[in-house]
Amino acid sequence: MALYGIADLHLSLGVNKPMDVFRGWENYVERLKQNWEQTVKPEDTVVLAGDISWGLSLSETEKDFRFIDALPGKKILLKGNHDLWFSTKSKVERFWETLGVLSLSILFNNAYHYGDYAICGTRGWINGEGAGDKKVLLRECGRLRTSLEAGRALQKEPLVFLHYPPIYGGDECEEILEILMEYEVKRVYYGHIHGYSAGYALNGSRHGIEFRLISGDFLQFQPIRIV
């Protein structure tokens, strides 16, 4: 039994928004499927850290979620900035139930027990200058805290998954980092960063926390083992 992670699948099997036009994304769906099936076993779990489907509504995500469901293992999904299909956790879960999609769960104001660890996380946000950005950031901070409290109740070491990086280049999101340090988080996995921008992403230790970029294209669509 193993835990894997990958972010930013950007699937578009039900809509016309292919990512193959971008460098590094050639045949990405086929590559993802092959790598996943060669790596992940039915008893394993994979965390998908946001930007999962380009569908704008749940109906437009059906083919994408059927594709993910057919892959080996259990999957835990969190919301990314492009996951505009996400309305509420209960609505998404009801939609999956109608499809008979049984291997997917949502990480949203909760935590999941996995061996010696608690899987925690939220979308996160950026350091914006506007009042709207600040409002969203504070809301995401609240969701991260709620998830980490749920993880603390499990009495397990937290593994945190975010979509937005709390550190990028010389920029640090102090509000998110303060919460991570308060709960003594040691490992954080994030997505959102693509292409040449990955050169500015942190893959290493800062503030006593190990950070790792797990965007699909950065990993060459190979799920990375977490534990």
Q: pLDDT tens digit string along 56-95?
A: 999 999 999 999 999 999 999 999 999 999 999 999 999 9
pLDDT for residue 129: 63
- What pLDDT is recorded for position 133? 86
Residue 26: is it exposed, middle or buried by C-beta count within 10 angstroms (0-12/13-18/19+)? Answer: exposed
Question: What tens digit of pLDDT does each residue of 116-159 get?
Answer: 999 999 999 987 666 778 899 999 999 999 999 999 999 999 99
pTM of the complete model: 0.97
- Nearby residues of 45 by Cβ (< 8 Å), 6 or more positions away: 1, 2, 3, 4, 73, 74, 75, 76, 114
Distance CA 141, CA 127 (A): 12
Quote the mean pLDDT of the chain: 96
Sign of the CA dihedral 14, 50, 77, 98?
A: negative
Where does the pLDDT of residue 211 fall: very low under 50, low under 70, confident under 90, or very high at 90 and above? Answer: very high
> Domain segments of the chain: what residues?
3-225
Which superfamily, per CATH, for 3-225? Answer: Metallo-dependent phosphatases (3.60.21.10)
pLDDT at 152: 98
Which residues touch 113 (CB under 8 Å, ≥6 apart)? 119, 154, 156
Average pLDDT over residues 103-125: 98
The yes-or-no verdict on residue 26 having pLDDT over 70 is yes
The pLDDT of residue 108: 98
Q: Would residue 122 be called left, alpha or beta, if left means φ above 0 and alpha means ψ between -120 and 50 degrees?
A: beta
